[in-house]
């Protein structure tokens, strides 16, 4: 797909080290964190600056060669797998934190910047950038923006989309656009900024971003509520919300997840519980945080929690949060393949959804552990399986189809924070309808008339038929 002339041209522009087409490099960029998905690129580029990006895009566009932008490849939807070959564009050289502006409470950076590194730099100034995907130690901000990453603090603080206010982006033509700025309000034309956030590399390559920052919460308290009844846990979530408390974190962990997490982390959690809520409140005022915690303890007890306990100290709180964040990696130790999904429902439907997931798991004789962000209805049903067992994988696929179907039925969506990628493309029509797909396709063409930007993502060659679920 890459002819000799293109290779020469890329090598000349970027240098030997930054255009690679040796087999080892190609293999390294043929997969990402998504299980069971691999496809070889034809070349890999490492641009140094916006001009490099524009050069490569223009050339690729002229030759109709796919461009797959990539940060750390931690996504779970196959978003950075070069399913149609082409050039993987790795943004890790463009990783500068350009500015933290304490007067305007904004930060400006290049897309390759590591998420956790950015958090630490911002927090050192007494400021706070809330989006905290579980992969944040490895992930890049550019990847977070392209997938609209969420995390554990979404309920109170929102997701990546709520923070990005300005972008520099290179169109497939090589033209550079700038959207928004250090502006909390800007209605000059269509909101290209929010359109690019979550566009999964299918529209443009972003080369710089400006985000809003908020005041860092100074106080934080953590508690665990344990339940023998999953409904009581779900009722507690609703009750907290109904009482107008917005905790920073409101995580749900079901029994299968609990058992695995406990087995590997030895936190002393009682593994006979059906559900656990891990709740954190933060704020700039200690008494308000304390009052919220007291009220939430009362509400959890009222709804039938078997036990509610506060983390004794910051260390214990940190261990609990770490255990929760490590749920995916812990689960992945059980069996060879771990498939984590993120069906999302209105938060009043969490109990219904978890029970439905359990029913489906039983029907297909699978182990599905469910944990996730209960406060915003974003659940992560996670199947531990074995990719080598074709028959079992077929059942896994059927189960997830039913899970997506159920989420849609509850007024939910097929993906809350992971993106569509290749993995969920066949199901997108269930959520947005035929007219929605057609419209999105035409928006894609407006940006990318030759379909070179991450082709094969978001849009499926054919949509999956909806299963008739026998309930």
Q: Which of residues 145-204 bind its own copies (CB under 8 A)?
A: 147-148, 150, 154-155, 159, 161-162, 171, 175-179, 181-192, 194-195, 197-199
Sheet harboring 337-340: ordered strands across? 307-310, 219-227, 275-283, 249-254, 368-373, 378-385, 337-340
Does 124 engage in binding with its own copies (CB under 8 A)? no
Which residue's CB is nearer to its own copies, number 22 or number 191?
A: 191
CA–CA separation, 253 vs 274, rounded Å? 9
The secondary structure of 360-391 as a DSSP string is HHHHTT--EEEEEEGGGTEEEEEEEE-TT-HH
CA–CA separation, 430 vs 106, rounded Å? 38
Question: Contacting its own copies (CB under 8 A), which of 11, 231, 291, 335?
Answer: 291
Cβ distance 342 to 412 under 8 Å? no
Q: How far from 6 is each of 21, 57, 124, 201, CA to CA, in Å?
A: 12, 12, 45, 22
Buried b (16+ CB within 10 A) or exposed e, 310-341: ebeeeebbebbbebbbebbebbbeeeebbbbb
Does 15 engage in binding with its own copies (CB under 8 A)? no
Q: How many residues form the binding site for its own copies (CB under 8 A)?
A: 88
Q: E strands, 273-355, where?
A: 275-283, 307-310, 337-340
Question: Contacting its own copies (CB under 8 A), which of 138, 297, 432, 460?
Answer: 432
Does 352 engage in binding with its own copies (CB under 8 A)? no
Does 105 engage in binding with its own copies (CB under 8 A)? yes
Which residue's CB is nearer to its own copies, number 20 or number 153?
A: 153
Which residue's CB is nearer to its own copies, number 15 or number 126?
A: 126
Of 23-31, 130-138, 261-269, 412-420, which part binds its own copies (CB under 8 A)? Answer: 412-420
Does 58 engage in binding with its own copies (CB under 8 A)? no
CB of residue 25 vs its own copies: minimum separation in angstroms? 30
Apex CA 324: angle with CA 320 and CA 327, to 5°? 140
Question: Contacting its own copies (CB under 8 A), which of 8, 288, 314, 467?
Answer: 288
Q: Is 266 exposed, middle or buried (0-12, 13-18, 19+ CB in 10 A)?
A: exposed
Interactions with its own copies, residue window 202-231 (CB under 8 A): 214-216
Does 357 engage in binding with its own copies (CB under 8 A)? no
Which residue's CB is nearer to its own copies, number 42 or number 376?
A: 376
Does 63 engage in binding with its own copies (CB under 8 A)? no
Does 462 engage in binding with its own copies (CB under 8 A)? no
Instruction: Give the x/- contact pattern for its own copies in 375-394, rule: CB under 8 A.
Output: -xxx----------------
């Amino acid at each position: 797909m890459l002819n000799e002339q293109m290779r020469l041209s890329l090598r000349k522009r970027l240098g030997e080290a930054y255009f690679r087409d040796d087999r080892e490099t190609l293999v390294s960029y043929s997969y990402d964190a998504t299980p069971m998905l691999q496809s070889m690129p034809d070349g890999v580029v490492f641009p140094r600056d916006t001009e490099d990006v524009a050069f490569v895009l223009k050339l690729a566009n002229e030759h109709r060669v796919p461009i797959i932008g990539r940060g750390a490849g931690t996504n779970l939807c196959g978003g950075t797998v070069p399913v149609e070959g082409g050039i993987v564009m790795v943004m890790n050289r463009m990783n500068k934190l350009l500015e933290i502006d304490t007067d305007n409470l904004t930060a400006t950076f290049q897309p390759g910047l590591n998420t956790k590194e950015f958090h630490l730099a911002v927090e050192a100034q007494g400021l706070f950038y809330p989006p905290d995907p579980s992969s944040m130690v490895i992930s890049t901000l550019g990847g977070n923006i392209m997938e609209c990453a969420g995390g554990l603090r979404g309920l109170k603080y929102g997701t990546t989309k709520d923070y990005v206010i300005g972008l520099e982006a290179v169109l497939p033509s090589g033209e550079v656009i700038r959207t928004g700025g250090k502006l909390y309000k800007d209605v000059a034309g269509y909101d290209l900024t929010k359109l690019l956030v979550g566009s999964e590399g299918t529209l443009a390559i972003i080369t710089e971003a400006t985000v809003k920052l908020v005041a860092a919460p100074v106080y934080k308290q953590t508690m665990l509520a344990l339940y023998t009844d999953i409904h009581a846990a779900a009722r507690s979530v609703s009750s907290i919300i109904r009482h107008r408390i917005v905790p920073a974190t409101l995580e749900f962990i079901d029994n299968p997840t609990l058992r695995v997490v406990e087995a590997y982390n030895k936190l002393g959690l009682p593994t006979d519980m059906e559900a656990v809520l891990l709740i954190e409140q933060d704020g700039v005022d200690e008494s308000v945080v304390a009052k919220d915690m007291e009220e939430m303890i009362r509400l959890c007890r009222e709804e039938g929690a078997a036990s509610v306990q506060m983390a004794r100290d910051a260390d214990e709180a940190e261990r609990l949060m770490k255990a929760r964040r490590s749920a995916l990696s812990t689960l992945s130790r059980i069996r060879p393949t771990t498939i984590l999904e993120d069906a999302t429902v209105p938060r009043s439907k969490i109990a219904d959804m978890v029970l439905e997931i359990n029913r489906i798991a039983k029907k297909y004789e699978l182990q599905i552990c469910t944990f996730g962000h209960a406060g915003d209805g974003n659940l992560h049903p996670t199947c531990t399986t074995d990719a080598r067992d074709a028959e079992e994988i077929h059942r896994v696929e059927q189960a997830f189809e039913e899970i997506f179907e159920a989420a849609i039925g509850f007024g939910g969506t097929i993906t809350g924070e992971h993106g569509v990628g290749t993995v969920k493309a066949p199901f997108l029509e269930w959520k947005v309808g035929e007219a929605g797909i057609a419209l999105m396709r035409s928006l894609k063409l407006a940006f990318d008339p030759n379909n070179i930007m991450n082709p094969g993502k978001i849009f499926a060659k054919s949509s999956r038929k909806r299963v008739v679920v026998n309930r």
